[in-house]
Each structure stands twice: as C-alpha cells, then as structure tokens.
Amino acid sequence: MGAARRLIEDGERRRRVGVRHRLASGARGPSVEDVAEALVALHATDAATVFLAVGARLQDSRGTVAAVERALYEERTLARMHGMRHTLFVFPVGIAPVVQASTTHAVAVRERAVFLKHLAAAGGFDAHWLEQTERETLSALAARGEATAVQLGSDVPRLREKLVYEAGTAREVTQSVSTRLLRTLGTEGRVVRGRPLGSWTSSQFRWAIAPPMPELPAADAQSELVRHWLATCGPATEADLKWWTGWKVTDVRKALAAIGAEAVGLEDGTTGFVLAGDTEEAPEPEPWAALLPALDPTAMGWQQRDWFLDPDHRAELFDRSGNIGPTVWWNGRVIGSWAQRAADGEIVWHLFAPQGREVLDAIEAEAGRLASWLGGARITPRFRTPLERRLTQL
C-alpha cells in the first residue's frame, strides 16, 4: 500500500505565496531580476503592471522605474514578448527561449496563418507580397536600429496599407499592415519591443531586430516551463496549469510526468502538483500587506482562486473578460482593492470587511511606499473594474 498523499491546506498555500512571490517583507527581492525570476512571468499587456508588480516586491523600491527600464532596455536581462494564452509578458532572458519553444512558436504559426487569410480576403495581397514586405521592413529596421511603426511606414509604404479584420462582426476593426506584421514578426522572435514612446506607462513601443535565440525541442521546453512555474505556484492543479499556459491538457500531463511532479491533496478535495520533494511544510512569514496592480502575476497565477479570494468579491474585482484589477492583500488573502483618486492622485483603498489596527497600519505603510516611488505618476489600469472605477471618484 503506497504512502498517503501529503495534504497542503489553504493556509499553507498562502504562506508559500508570501515567501515565493516575494511579498512578505523578509522575502522581498534585492533586484528586478530576482523578482522576475521568482515570478517566472510579469504580465505586460498593461505596461505599468510590470513596474508596479516589481516595485511591490523590491527590498528598496525607491528606484523602481529606473531599475526596470535598465533591465529591459539597457542590460536586456528582461525580455518583453508574447507568451502564454497569446498574452504579452516580460520574462527573464534565460527563460525566453523556453517560452518561445513551448508556447509562442505555436502562437506564431496561428498568427501568420490568420494574417495571410486576411490579406487574401482583402484582395491583391498574397504570401509573396507579404514576404517582400517583411524583407523591406527588417532591412529598414536594421538600418534605423530602433523605430516606431510610423517611422517604418515612411520607409516601407506597404506598411501603411489598411486592412479590415473580422468584417461584418462586432469585432470588426481597421488596422494598418504594420500592426499585424510587427506582431507576427514579434511572435516569431524576429523583432522585439524596445523603449516606449513617452513615459514608462506607455504601451506604444519602438521596435528593434531581436537578438538570436537558441531553438529548443517543444516537449523539453514545456517541461522546463512547468518546472519553473511549479517552483513558484505549486501546489496547483492540472486545470490551473492548462489555463495559465493555454496548452492542451495532454501537453500539461506530459510535462508534469516528464519532471516527476508529485501529487498532493488540496483542501477543496482536488489533486494538486508540486516539484518532486517540495512537500516540506512552509514556514510562517511575518505578517505582510501588499498593494498589487491590475493583472499582477500572483492574482493571475491560478484559474481556481477561492483559497485566496472570496468568490463573493469577484464581480467587484474583475472585468467582463476575467482581468483582475488592483488588489489589497493581507497574509495571502485578497481583502480589498486600491486606486489613485482622480482628483489628486492620492492612493485610496476599500476593504471588504473591518480590519484591526495592525492590518490598517501595514496597508498605510505599503501605500506610502508605493506613493514614494511613483513620484506623482498617474496610473489608470488598461482594464477597468467596478470597484477601481468607484475608488478613483472618492
């Protein structure tokens, strides 16, 4: 008769989050790279999220903006690229080839097929036309070193052609060829997003030729990505991993088997997985509070969130597409939301239940820490949620 599975209760999962996600004050990271490695992936659909997520986890957050920009644009220790679920993330450069081979390559194949389909439907455009346009675009980009889509359009007039996508549907949109072409080349790892136009909160990026990236077998890369993810988010279920990666469940199971992931019991009666041997009881960190941004990787780390988020509060914290807004945390639970007041930029928050003095003092301290490094910058989440909208009007 085999040994009984280790039961990891919700409280222990929350303790793991405090330490492994660099949220407890004693577990905060010394550098941007340390935080990124600990989290595996930083959501980057909203450019500000990368900075806010890192700043919440740094030992010294005062230089957050400069430190993140240096890592992204000067030292290139972080890479912004499409990854899981066709979503834009920032990854440590060491894991970028793993993400490309395990996930983004399949995204790129679909992206190119859809692009060619739309070109054909528009008439007068075919694969040969696209190939020539790509060559001219890459040549112009190499000559400039770094350029916006508008600048490239002045060098390559074909990029200014307009196409209608999803014609006749509620999703109909007209876009220039440059928008889809650069995104396609980005998913293929041939170009990379550089510095944004304007401030660090901008999502309008310059483009550059991507540095060479080693090619990895897809199955090996999937196993390696799961290894990184479980080190950060284990225990978690197959459903969590399938949702986070966007893979087929068969790929998830193969990757779990390849790394010898260990099955454990979870408090809700489901089966979770951890890395082999990662079953020692998690230590209790000191009490901690955190103000995390919209789309923070902790809040978006699992599909099933009831162990840290009361489902009664979902309607207030999520938009209709499942994007979570800013959250207030206490010891591994979401207890409220925060925002910047529209009138003066002051950080304000709402808690779902009354809290004691220790909690309120900790939240106040985190709000002060955040306000200090923001330095007057205004943040509006790209995906607005009901509670965040109300808080801005206080």
Domain membership of residue 86 (yes or no) is: no
Alpha-carbon distance 85 to 100, whole Å?
A: 12
Q: Are 219 and 160 in contact (CB under 8 A)?
A: no
pLDDT digits (tens, 9 = 90+) for 194-218: 999 989 999 899 999 999 999 999 9
User: ∠292-222-333 over CA atoms, to 5°?
Assistant: 25
Same domain, 184 and 287: no
Q: 133 pLDDT exceeds 90?
A: yes
Domain presence at residue 89:
no
* End-of-domain residue from the set 209, 241, 276: 209
DSSP H stretches of helix in 145-201: 149-155, 177-187
Domain holding 251, by residue range, is: 1-44+56-74+216-394
Q: Average pLDDT in the 147-175 region?
A: 87
Same domain for 173 and 313, yes or no, is: no
Place of tokens 């199971």: 253
Are 40 and 15 found together in one domain?
yes
Q: Do 295 and 197 belong to one domain?
A: no
Q: Are residues 289 and 341 in the same domain?
A: yes
Same domain, 144 and 231: no
- Closest by alpha carbon to 321, among 13, 55, 46? 46
Question: Looking at the structure, do residues 220 and 368 belong to the same domain, yes or no?
Answer: yes
pLDDT per position as a tens digit, 79-123: 999 999 989 999 999 999 999 999 999 999 999 999 998 888 887
Q: How far apart are CA 327 and CA 300, in angstroms?
A: 11
User: pLDDT exceeding 70 applies to what percent of the chain?
Assistant: 99
Question: Are both 328 and 390 inside the same structural domain?
Answer: yes
- Is residue 80 assigned to a domain? no
Q: What is the mean pLDDT of residues 17-41?
A: 97
User: What average pLDDT does this structure show over 41-69?
Assistant: 97
pLDDT at 262: 97
pLDDT at 170 over 50: yes
pLDDT in tens, 325-355: 999 999 999 999 999 999 999 999 999 999 9
Mean pLDDT of the chain: 95
Band (pLDDT 50/70/90 cuts) for residue 1 is very low
Across 230-241, b (16+ Cβ under 10 Å) vs e yields bebbbbbbbebb
- pLDDT of 168 > 90? The answer is no
- Domain ends where: 147, 178, 209? 209
Domain boundary residue, one of 190, 209, 228: 209
Residues 6+ apart with CB under 8 A from 88: 43, 44, 45, 80, 81, 82
* Residue of 64, 32, 306 lying closest to 201 (CA atoms): 64
Pair 289, 328: CB distance under 8 Å = yes
Number of structural domains, the chain? 2
Asked whether residue 40 falls in the same domain as residue 23, the answer is yes
- Confirm whether 84 is domain-assigned: no
Q: Do residues 180 and 241 share a domain?
A: no
Average pLDDT over residues 369-382: 95
What's 142's domain CATH number?
1.10.10
Mean per-residue pLDDT, 262-275: 97
CA gap 193, 72 in Å, rounded: 10
Residue 49 lies in a domain: no
Helices (H), 293-343: 314-317
> What is the band of 124 on the pLDDT scale with cuts at 50, 70, 90?
confident
Judge if 98 and 178 occupy the same domain: yes
Residues 315 and 199 in one domain: no
